Structure 1
Amino acid sequence: MPDTFPIRKIIHVDMDAFYASVEQLDNPELRGKPIAVGGGGNRGVVSAASYEARKFGVKSAMSGMLAQRLCPDLLFVPTRFDRYREISKQVRAIFYEYTNLVEPLSLDEAYLDVTENKKGNPSASLIAQEIRSRIHKEIGITASAGISINKFIAKVASDYNKPNGQKTVNPEDVLPFLEALDIRKFYGVGKVTAEKMYQLGIFTGADLKSKTIDYLDTHFGKSGRFYYHVVRGIHTSEVKPNRIRKSLAAERTFSENLSSEIFMLEKLEHIANEVSNRLKKSNIAGKTVTLKIKYSDFTMQTRSKTLPYFISDAQVILETAKDLLYQESMQNSVRLLGISLANLNTHKKAKKPEENKTVSVQLKFAF
């Protein structure tokens, strides 16, 4: 790592089994039991699983039927996104007491830059510990955290001592930490990429670091340069408190396959209304409507149309989706429909925060 490489004090906070934890918080009878949020019925998909369920191999994106086979005592509870958003808002309120540099990734995780913070606390580790303690005491659920010099390492570290734990990777420990890391734990390396790396003899960060940038570019394209830098502790992305939304979508998976466009119209109307309500609630509009179709054989198809003006009205969204629906004949019966709106009127870039400062690695950091 170059002597003048800019480093920050970054915390990645990740709520533990968030949706499931909220359900167990609100219903004491579910505590200590294996539960899955969503996933009920023959066509259901698990949105989240409690740690009691994860012991049996139940995980998110798994079909409800498979989850039930793995864990016969599994309890399914319906999703309640309004409640999850409410709890998420309470958690973020705690974050903002420490720094304005908060970048939410989803309802249950966020990056915090505490290089300079409202508490004047020089220790990012102590700040993370205090935040986690407050989430538990004031809200009633647990969170884990990773602390390090950049977003990439903090994200990786937050998985280390889950649930209800944290890990700090100090500046002097960054390179040894990355070199010893299993390649599967590198954020951004998925299952397919990991298998490809295995075939190339890359199993750890040290193996990855031994490859030249040309080698990685050849085998991994644009991602090769990313891998080359992050394994050396180089990741300069700042915490962006005002992330610009690029799209908004809603979709539905049906209990029975739909065999005709006629049967889809009612479903599309409900989806269009949901998209419209969410657009208006956020005071945004968009120009590009995309219809998503998943067939019974799990093949996926998307069809898009860009209008010359911004829209948020449900009827206009629906009529555009109808045009896209009839654009081509159905390939098979349909199990899922979705509508998304992109090319939003959120193009104005947020001002770069003045307090998002960096410091030299030569300084003594209290992590």
Structure 2
Amino acid sequence: MEEQRIVIHNDMNAFFASVEQQANPELRGKPIAVVGGGGRTVITTSSYEARAFGVKTGMAKWEALRVCPQLIIVVGDNKKYTYTSARIMEMMKEYTPLVEVFSIDEAWMDITHSLSIFGTPERIAYLLKARIKESFGITCSIGIAPNKLLAKLASDLHKPDGLTVIKPEEVSRVLERMPIKELCGIGKKTEYQLKVMNINTCGELGRCDESRLTRKFGIIGSRLKQMGQGIDDSPVTPNEEDDEVKSVGHSMTLRRDVERREDILKYLLQLSEMVGRRARRYGVSGKTVTLHVRFADFYSSFGKQNTLKSYINLSDDIFKAAVAILDTTELPQPVRQLGVKLSNLKYQAEQLSLFRDVQKKSDAIKAMDAVNDRYGEFKVTFGSLLQSEDKGSHVISPAWRPEGIRNVDVQ
């Protein structure tokens, strides 16, 4: 008989805001919102006191202040968050080596083989919650279930500071009336398409004819049906072993809306340098460049990509590809947010060029990367960026992982 898996999902509650409240006692018990370092950015996260007034992640500052005039705006400190996250992830590894980091404030643990040492799943969860509270003064919500999908669902059911267990025999009952949007992996677009098909709950999704789903969604139709049934065979994969990271990207919310092409190009060059530098650090190159633009009304946006004939990781090559995409699109409004991504990656072994000019350029790029790695972002940069107001993304990537990118999908 196959051993029943036991998976924990640990979700830190209002993580950035909680860290700030513990760092500054004057903020405790008050509605606060964490934002990026720019003069104009969106809410990264908010405290539960602020959420009670309707302050949500992704809101513009003015909108958050409108629904909660007493809101305290706090500029985020990424170093505090990454340090705290890394320590918590290390703490989790004391209970099992099978820890998969999902984002800076979420991770799964496979504790199937840890029970002989630590006792019941609930005891492990309580021990972890108590240690996090004692060490950092913050709370987390934990879900315990037979797989990753259900464990994440369970951790969302009772917040903050919750502990929810979904046992194998309870899966059908729990999912029967659960809205489909509660399942990790079903976004707004998929939710809308399913509702058009009159599928509103997980129970209805699990009972839906698979052929009907595959006609609508293709190969993922089978996966959607399994999700509705609470089936998930994906293993908890330690991040040093995973191959999920398939792109390198950066985005930034601008200090002010921009319309002039030369201003937009300056930001694109900056983003391209950030993407290129990371790609070179990881030893990868990519063939597909994606440009994402969000407009001044905050709700309108577009994303386009272009696959090149050869692999690239030099900043100016990424920049040229991004500009080529930009030039195929009319901008109906001023631009509020920009993003550049390099994907379709492969490992790139370094080779000496036969051409002197190319090799000199490569050596100069390596020297610039070395200086910036040691002394910080944009200490050495392109001349056109010297007058730039923004130096780097103002909001930490939600996909940040303490270990960084260990493995990249190789084409």
TM-score (norm 1): 0.82
Instruction: Give 1:25's aligned residue.
Output: 22
Structure 1 residues without counterparts, runs of 5 or longer: 351-367
Alignment of 1:53 with 2:50, yes or no, is: yes
The alpha-carbon distance between structure 1 residues 64 and 264, as it changes in their structure 2 partners (threshold 3 A), is: same
User: Given that residues 97 and 118 in structure 1 are in contact (C-alpha distance below 8 angstroms), is that contact kept between their aligned partners in structure 2?
Assistant: no
Instruction: Give 1:104's aligned residue.
Output: 101
The alpha-carbon distance between structure 1 residues 265 and 230, as it changes in their structure 2 partners (threshold 3 A), is: closer
Amino acid at match of 2:310: P
Alignment of 1:117 with 2:114, yes or no, is: yes
User: Given that residues 100 and 237 in structure 2 are in contact (C-alpha distance below 8 angstroms), is that contact kept between their aligned partners in structure 1?
Assistant: yes
Match of 2:129 among 114, 132, 136: 132
Alignment of 1:261 with 2:261, yes or no, is: yes
Once superposed, what is the RMSD of the aligned Cα atoms?
3.0
Local SS of the residue matching 1:254? strand
Match of 1:189 among 183, 186, 189: 186
Task: Quote the Cα distance in structure 2 between the aligned partners of 1:155 and 1:69.
Answer: 32
Task: Quote the Cα distance in structure 1 between the aligned partners of 2:272 and 2:191.
Answer: 38
Instruction: Give 1:177's aligned residue.
Output: 174
Alignment of 1:243 with 2:245, yes or no, is: no
Task: Quote the Cα distance in structure 1 between the aligned partners of 2:184 and 2:252.
Answer: 29
The alpha-carbon distance between structure 1 residues 306 and 29, as it changes in their structure 2 partners (threshold 3 A), is: farther
Instruction: Give 2:322's aligned residue.
Output: 321
Instruction: Give 2:377's aligned residue.
Output: none
Alpha-carbon deviations, 1:138-163, whole Å to 9, x = none? 22221111111111111100011211
Amino acid at match of 1:112: M
Local SS of the residue matching 1:60? coil
Question: Aligned runs of 1:34-53 on 2, under 5 Å?
Answer: 34-38=31-35, 43-53=40-50
Alignment of 1:341 with 2:338, yes or no, is: no
**Farther-moved stretch of structure 1 (94-103 vs 31-40):** 31-40
The alpha-carbon distance between structure 1 residues 293 and 186, as it changes in their structure 2 partners (threshold 3 A), is: closer
CA drift of 1:337 comes to: 1.9
**Farther-moved stretch of structure 1 (319-328 vs 289-298):** 319-328
**Farther-moved stretch of structure 1 (256-265 vs 32-41):** 32-41
Alpha-carbon deviations, 1:82-111, whole Å to 9, x = none? 322221111111111122211111111011
User: Given that residues 39 and 76 in structure 1 are in contact (C-alpha distance below 8 angstroms), is that contact kept between their aligned partners in structure 2?
Assistant: no
Instruction: Give 2:384's aligned residue.
Output: none
Instruction: Give 2:403's aligned residue.
Output: none
User: Given that residues 12 and 145 in structure 1 are in contact (C-alpha distance below 8 angstroms), is that contact kept between their aligned partners in structure 2?
Assistant: yes
Alignment of 1:159 with 2:160, yes or no, is: no
TM-score (norm 2): 0.74
CA drift of 1:339 comes to: 1.6
Instruction: Give 1:358's aligned residue.
Output: none
Instruction: Give 1:299's aligned residue.
Output: 301
CA drift of 1:331 comes to: 4.8
CA drift of 1:197 comes to: 4.7
Task: Quote the Cα distance in structure 2 between the aligned partners of 1:300 and 1:35.
Answer: 31
Amino acid at match of 2:6: K
Alpha-carbon deviations, 1:220-271, whole Å to 9, x = none? 5544322322333321111122222211111222233222221223222322
Instruction: Give 2:146's aligned residue.
Output: 149
The alpha-carbon distance between structure 1 residues 267 and 205, as it changes in their structure 2 partners (threshold 3 A), is: closer
User: Given that residues 202 and 229 in structure 2 are in contact (C-alpha distance below 8 angstroms), is that contact kept between their aligned partners in structure 1?
Assistant: no
User: Given that residues 210 and 225 in structure 2 are in contact (C-alpha distance below 8 angstroms), is that contact kept between their aligned partners in structure 1?
Assistant: yes
Alpha-carbon deviations, 1:290-332, whole Å to 9, x = none? 3323344623142435362442x43443344344444556554
Match of 1:308 among 310, 314, 321: 310
User: Given that residues 145 and 165 in structure 2 are in contact (C-alpha distance below 8 angstroms), is that contact kept between their aligned partners in structure 1?
Assistant: yes
Amino acid at match of 1:168: V
Instruction: Give 2:9's aligned residue.
Output: 12
Task: Quote the Cα distance in structure 2 between the aligned partners of 1:287 and 1:39.
Answer: 31
CA drift of 1:32 comes to: 1.0
User: Given that residues 197 and 203 in structure 1 are in contact (C-alpha distance below 8 angstroms), is that contact kept between their aligned partners in structure 2?
Assistant: yes
Local SS of the residue matching 2:118? coil
User: Given that residues 157 and 167 in structure 1 are in contact (C-alpha distance below 8 angstroms), is that contact kept between their aligned partners in structure 2?
Assistant: yes
User: Given that residues 203 and 229 in structure 2 are in contact (C-alpha distance below 8 angstroms), is that contact kept between their aligned partners in structure 1?
Assistant: no
Task: Quote the Cα distance in structure 1 between the aligned partners of 2:321 and 2:188.
Answer: 36
The alpha-carbon distance between structure 1 residues 220 and 310, as it changes in their structure 2 partners (threshold 3 A), is: closer
Counting matched residue pairs gives: 346
The alpha-carbon distance between structure 1 residues 231 and 330, as it changes in their structure 2 partners (threshold 3 A), is: closer
Amino acid at match of 1:127: I
The alpha-carbon distance between structure 1 residues 306 and 128, as it changes in their structure 2 partners (threshold 3 A), is: farther
Task: Quote the Cα distance in structure 1 between the aligned partners of 2:15 and 2:143.
Answer: 17
Amino acid at match of 1:246: K
Task: Quote the Cα distance in structure 2 between the aligned partners of 1:267 and 1:323.
Answer: 15
CA drift of 1:72 comes to: 0.9
Amino acid at match of 2:72: L
Instruction: Give 2:252's aligned residue.
Output: 252
CA drift of 1:194 comes to: 4.2
